[in-house]
Amino acid sequence: MVSKLILGLSLICLAPLGTVFAQAPANPTPQELLKQSKRIVFLGDSITAAGEYVAYFDTWLLTQGLEKIPVVIDAGLPSETVSGLSEDGHAGGAFPRPDLAERLERVLALTNPDLVVACYGMNCGIYLPFDEGRFKKYQAGISSLKAAVEKAGARLVIVTPPFYDDQRAPLKFSYNGVLDRYSEWLVGQRRAGWMVADLHGPMAAEVAKRRQADPKFTFQPDGVHPNSAGHWAVAQQVISWFGDQSATAAATPAEFFSTKTLPPEVLPLVKQRVSILRDSYVGTAGHKRPGVAKGLPVKEAEQKAAELTKKIQETIVSL
């Protein structure tokens, strides 16, 4: 296993911008997607921007014996929607929610992915009761995202919205019920050939299961944003969709990665690499969300990422 990890790390390639990749065959398996991918971009709102579940996924890639390990870029943006909607008085009236459509073309051109993983929906219902008009905006936004990704020569994996904890952030209705509708529609698009990883259903089921023993259990203390255990719950479903169902049996990332012969020192290095690349690419592509770190110029960020990759390799070699 160690030799495979070293080989994969030594072949990590930060592909030059503008590189054109060969068209992948139709309907690849998740495992084939990873083998074909050189650059994987994650899109989403603040949950994705936090970077923790993305770092778990990035760390997991080190264990897969891939000939070339894809570069993972977290391009999540806090407060963002794919629906283009924003509630009145968002952020105390300081700014409306950013719309992915405003920056998507720039992000795709700058990051040049051949695989995009996107998770939207939590903000798209605007924390209001289900409304057919808002739902259609979400559907249209997801469809436009898919079209844009495919036009850019990449493939799209859509992750259903996370669970919303009605118990921790109660409204006069079940907002998680609204997200049930959004998730059901996404899962239904599998019949049309869409690649959809279901997070919403399994996450809701896991919360219900744990509350049988601890009625106050939560993955999201504020109802929306996952704690570390919640980010692991997200990563479990993404990793599982890509073919490693053993992730769903591990209670913690430490437990999971110990079974993959990865030393615990690796994960903090990967998290640092994810953060550096996120701030650089999100800031360089530009957006309308105030209060987000600008980040380093892309070339400098990639140099620092390469240095971290070397440290990761040295850490694995020390096993």
Q: How far apart are CA 319 and CA 311, in angstroms?
A: 13
Residue 80: pLDDT over 50: yes
**pTM (2 decimals)?**
0.92
Q: What is the pLDDT of residue 24?
A: 38
Strands of 115-119's sheet, edge to edge?
A: 71-74, 39-44, 115-119, 155-159, 195-197
Mean pLDDT (the chain, rounded): 92
Distance of alpha carbon 277 from the chain centroid:
14
**Rounded Cα–Cα distance for residues 126 and 97 (Å):** 10
pLDDT at 232: 98
What percentage of residues in the chain have a pLDDT greater than 90? 89
How far apart, in Å, are the Cα atoms of 63 and each of 121, 142, 198? 30, 31, 23
Read off the tokens for 304.
């620092």
Q: What does the pLDDT look like over 162-187, one tens digit per residue?
A: 999 999 999 999 999 999 999 999 99
pLDDT recorded at residue 315: 93
**What kind and span of H or E run contains 73?**
strand 71-74
Q: What is the CB neighbour count within 10 angstroms for residue 20?
A: 8
pLDDT band at 317 (very low <50, low <70, confident <90, very high): confident
39-44 and 115-119 strand pairing: parallel
Taking the domains of the chain in order of start, what are their residue ranges? Answer: 32-82+95-250
Q: pLDDT band at residue 26, thresholds of 50, 70 and 90?
A: low
- In single-letter form, the type of residue at position 55 comes to A
pLDDT tens digits along 27-47: 699 999 999 999 999 999 999
pLDDT attached to residue 314: 94
Please report which confidence band the pLDDT of residue 273 belongs to, taking 50, 70 and 90 as the band edges.
Answer: very high
Please report the pLDDT score of residue 21 as a whole number: 37
User: Hey, is 72 helix, strand or coil?
Assistant: strand
Percent of the chain scoring above 70 in pLDDT: 91
pLDDT at 319: 60
pLDDT digits (tens, 9 = 90+) for 87-123: 999 999 999 999 999 999 999 999 999 999 999 999 9
Q: For the segment 124-145, what is each residue's pLDDT rounded down to a tens digit? A: 999 999 999 999 999 999 999 9
Q: Which of 18-22, 127-131, 138-142, 221-225 has the lowest mean pLDDT?
A: 18-22
Q: What is the pLDDT of residues 227-244, one digit of tens each?
A: 999 999 999 999 999 999
- Contacts for 124 with CB less than 8 Å, ≥ 6 apart: 81, 82, 83, 85, 134, 137, 138, 141, 161, 182
What does the alpha-carbon distance between residue 71 and residue 196 come to, in Å, rounded to a whole number?
21
Q: Looking at residue 81, what DSSP letter applies? A: B
Among 1-10, 160-169, 191-200, where is mean pLDDT lowest? 1-10
Which CATH architecture fits 32-82+95-250? 3-Layer(aba) Sandwich (3.40)
Residue 291 has a pLDDT of: 95
Predicted confidence at residue 298, as pLDDT, reads 98
Residue 302 has a pLDDT of: 98
Q: Which letter, b or e, does each residue of 290-313 get, where b requires 16 or more Cβ atoms within 10 Å of its Cβ?
A: eebeebbebeebbeebeebbeebb
pLDDT exceeds 50 at position 194: yes
